[in-house]
Amino acid sequence: MSIRPVTITGEPVLHHRAVEVEAFDDELRTLVEDMYETMDAAHGVGLAATQVGVGLRLYTYHFPNEDDVPERGVVINPQLTLSKVSGAEPDPDEETEGCLSVPGLSYPLKRAEWARVKGYDVDGNPLEFEATGWFARVMQHEYDHLDGKLYVDRLNDRWGKRARKQVKKEGWGVPGLTWLPGTDPDPFGH
């Protein structure tokens, strides 16, 4: 197992749809173990394969929940069904997200309060569960990565403008930028 560098917005793999996993083999198991180690070192609640430079449709998560779902897992080739997203303004105190690929920044975003998640585990066994509240938010956030979207791409005009300005100020938005959890300073101050 090893910690992998986390890609920063602007890296092409983050902005293209990932491809389906076809082989449930030792190479996949190694990737998943590396993703767990990277997610843990980064103090993340989720990590998509695209965030470690791999264009495959899978993500890991570690999030305590009240949905009777193990708090740590992997979802491979996920499918999400969502409840309706409210059209109200996001609450900056209750609905603010961050992302390891937009390190150190966070902005308010509305998400669906419920998600049905279908996919496969690392051995190719089918899995299906429901997620609510913040756990549903984590599932949506990671799933978006697999479709080439970052949470900042979904922000409303007010917050999106601020995010774009900060990304530009940081010098991001170009290929080749990464940070290494456990080695580089923690951008979220954990």
Half-sphere CA count of 123, side-chain side, radius 13 A: 1
Is 145 annotated in some ligand binding site? yes
Residues of the chain short of pLDDT 70, as ranges, are none
Is 141 annotated in some ligand binding site? yes
Give the pLDDT score at 115. Answer: 98
Give the pLDDT score at 190. Answer: 81
Distance between CA atoms of residues 91 and 72, nearest Å: 27
Half-sphere CA count of 173, side-chain side, radius 13 A: 11
Whether the pTM exceeds 0.95: the reply is yes
Give the pLDDT score at 180. Answer: 98
Give the pLDDT score at 16. Answer: 98
Distance between CA atoms of residues 158 and 169, nearest Å: 17
Distance between CA atoms of residues 139 and 175, nearest Å: 26
Is 62 annotated in some ligand binding site? no
Counting DSSP H helices and E strands in the chain, the numbers are: 3, 9
Q: Which residues are catalytic?
A: 142
